[in-house]
Amino acid sequence: MKIKFLFILTFVLLINGFTAAQNAVFPYKSQIIDKNFEAAESGILTDLAAEPNDCALNFAAGSLFSDKNFAKFNPQKAYNYFKCAKIAYDKTKDKSKLLKAGLSATNINKKILTVTQYALDEAIKSNSAEAYENFLSVYELAPLNQKKFAENKSIVYTFRKNYVSKWDYIKKYIYQTYDNQEFTEILKDSAFALAKRNPNVEIVKYCYITSKDQQKRDSCVLMMHKIYENYGVYNFDDFWRTYTSPNFKDLKEKDEIIKQTYKSGNKFLLAIEAAPSRIAYDALLELIAVRLKNKDYEGALYKVSSFASRFKGNKDFADLLKTLQQPENKDFNISKLDKNDKIVAMENTTDTTVSPDGSVMIFSQKKQSINEISPSKNLFICFRLSDGTWGNPQEINALNTSFSETSPYLHPDMKTLYFCSDGYGNLGKKDIFMVKRLGNDWDKWSRPKNLGKEINSAFDEDYFKFSYNGINAYFSNVNDNGNKNSFVIKLKNEDKTELAVTLVTGFLTDSKGHAVSAEIGWEDLEKHQIIGHVKTSAKDGSYTMCLPAGRNYGYFIDDKRFFPTSENLDLRQQNHTSTVKKDITVVKIEEVIIIGKSIILKNLFFDTGASELLPTSVSELERISKIIQDRSIKVEISGHTDNVGNDTDNQKLSLERAEAVKKVLMSLGCDSKKLITVGFGKTKPIAPNTTPEGRQQNRRVEFRVIK
C-alpha cells in the first residue's frame, strides 16, 4: 500500500512539474483554455512589451487572437504573432525547453496554416479583388494551395474589371493554369468571340486546340483556312493534316484542284479556280504584269474587269479596279534622279519615322505574334513618355495585313501616313499607299489608298517622303534586274504639304568662330517636353531641324563640355512653310565656371511689367539648377530692364524678377546661400533702347558664377 501511494505521489509531482514547465514556456495557456481571455490578453501583452521577441509569448498571443471564442478574434494579428514566434524559434539555439512544452516548428506551422485559412475564408466571404490581393500581400507564409486559390480569384476579378476585347489582353491570361474551371471557360469563350470578329493565326489556333465542341472546332478550321487563303497558300496538304475534321469534303477537293492548277503554271485557270483568294489575285496580277510594265493601263483594266464576277467581296480587287480606272494624270511631273543630282537627303531610308514634334514613332518590324505561315513585317507605333523615353510598341492593327508593311513616313501634318505594302490592292509587287488618321486617336485610319499607276508599277516601290519645303516628293523602286532607281515628283499646289513647317538651319561655333560638333536639344516649352535632338556636322558645325508651326520651341546645347546655351523660336503665329537661319555660339563650361563669363538666360518668360515667371520658363531653370548643384557654385542672378518708365520702378522690377528666378531655383533644390540676386534696372543696356528689338534685348536676366 505504501509503495502504491508513493508511486501515485511521484506521478502527480511529475505531472505538476511538467505542467509548470509547460506553463513557463507557454505562458497563459490555462487562461486561454479556460476562456479567461481578458486576463490572458493583459498578461501576454504586458510581458510582450518587455520581451517582444520571446517565442512562447508570441505563440501565446497568436493562440489568443486566433481563438474564435475571443471577442477580439483577429486572424491578421494572430498571423503576425505566429510569424514572430516562428522567427524567434528559428533563432533559438537550444530548443529543448520549447520542444518539451510542445512548441515545435511543426506546431507553429500548423497554427499559421489554421490562421491563414481563417483569413482566406474571410476573403472568400468578402469576395472582392481587393480582399484576395490583401491576402496575398499580407500572408506570405500561407501554403501554396491557399495562395494559388487567392491568385486565381484575384485574376478573375481583374480580368472582368479591366476587360477589353483585344487579343493582347486576353493572351496575358490564357497560358496560365487556373483552378477555377469557370474562368477557364470564360477565357475560351472570350477568345472565340474575338476570333470570329478579327481572326489571326495565334488566336484561331488557340481556340481550335482548347475547344472540345466539334462545331466550334469546325468554325476554327474555316477561319484558319481563310487566313491561309489570304496568305496565298496553294498547297493545303499540311493544313488538313494539322486541322483535322470529319467534315469539309468539298473544300478539300477544291483545294486539291487548286494545287494541281498551280503546279500546271496556268495563271488564267488559277485565277478562275482559286478566286477570290489571294493566290488567285496574285495570278491575276501576273496576267496583267506585261501591260503594266508597258503602261497599257487600258488593256490591264479590260483584263481585270473580265474577272469581276469571280472576285466579288475581295477588297484588294476593288482597290485595283479603282486605281486602274483613275484617269491618267499627264501633268504629274515625275523624273528620274541621277546619281549626281543634289537633293535633300532622304531621311526615311530605314523603317522608322518620328513625328516632327518628337512625340510619336512609327516603325516596321517582324510581327510580335506567332505566325506559322509566313514571316512578314508589320507597322508598330509607340509614344514618348513624360520622362523622354518611349512607351511599349503597339501593332497598328487597322493597317497591318497578312503580308508586309514597311517604310512608314509620317507627314508633318501628323494626320497623313505613307507606307509600302504588298498586302493591299497593289499593281504588282510592293506599292506605296497613303492613309489618313481619323480623329485624334492613333488606332483609327482610313482605308489605304494606292498612290496610283503614275508612281506605283509592276516593280517594288519604296521609301516615299516629302522634301522639307513641301514642293517635291521622293520615292524609289527596284526593277526586275535588281537595280534601284530614285525619282522626284514635282507637286502641284493642291498636293503640297497641308501643314506649315519651319526648316531651321544654321551653324554651331565657339567664341572663336570654330565649328563645333555637339547635340542641340529641342523642346516644346508649353508642354515642357523634349521633342528631339540634332547632331551638328563635325566638318562645319551645320545642322538642320524641321519643326511644325503653331508652337513655341526652345533649343539648347546638350553637351557637358558646354554651358547649355539656350534660346527660343516662337512659331505660334506661323501659318506658312518657311526657312529660318539660327547660328548658335557655344560657351565652354570652363569659361562660365572659372572665368565667370555672364550668360543671358533667354528662355525665361514674364508677362509685360510683371515679375512672376511663366510656366514655359521651367525647362531653362531645371538645367541651371542642375549645374549649380552638380558644381556646388555660388552665382549672381541679375535682372535688367529697358529705359521705358520710371527708374525706381524699373530697378524694383529687375530685382523682383531676379528674386523670382531664385525662388524657383530653391524649389528645385538649390541652396539659398549660393544664390545672390541683384537688380540693375536700365543701367546696363546691351543694345540701343531706340528700337523695339533693342529694348527687348535689354529686358533680360543674367547668370554669373561668383565663387
Q: Say what the pLDDT of residue 26 is.
A: 62
Confirm whether 333-495 and 598-707 share one CATH topology: no
Task: Report the CATH number of the 333-495 domain.
Answer: 2.120.10.30
> What span, in angstroms and rounded, lies between the C-alpha atoms of 682 and 277?
80
Q: What's the average pLDDT block by block, 10 residues per block, for the chain (707 residues)?
A: 42 38 59 86 90 91 91 93 92 86 87 93 87 91 90 83 84 78 87 90 92 94 93 93 93 96 95 93 92 90 94 90 81 66 42 79 77 76 81 88 89 85 86 90 89 86 75 79 79 55 86 88 82 83 81 86 86 78 89 87 86 88 91 93 91 94 93 94 93 91 89
State how far the alpha carbon of 519 is from the alpha carbons of 223, 301, 349, 354, 511, in Å: 52, 53, 22, 18, 17
pLDDT value at residue 347 = 38
**500-591: CATH superfamily:** Aromatic compound dioxygenase (2.60.130.10)
Q: Could you tell me where the beta strands, DSSP code E, fall in 254-373?
A: 333-337, 352-354, 360-366
User: Contact, 695 vs 649, CB < 8 A?
Assistant: no
332: three-class secondary structure by DSSP: coil
Could you tell me which residues are beta bridge partners of residue 361? Answer: 354, 382
pLDDT of residue 339: 54
What are the strands of the beta sheet with 360-366, ordered from one edge? 352-354, 360-366, 377-383, 394-395
Give residue 24's pLDDT: 41
Q: What is the pLDDT of residue 260?
A: 96
The CA dihedral of 52, 55, 61, 62, to the nearest 10 degrees, is: 130
pTM over 0.75: no
Q: How many residues does the chain have?
A: 707
CATH superfamily of 598-707: OmpA-like domain (3.30.1330.60)
Please state the domain extents for the chain: 21-162, 333-495, 500-591, 598-707
Closest by CA to 282, choosing from 313, 254, 249, 307, is 307
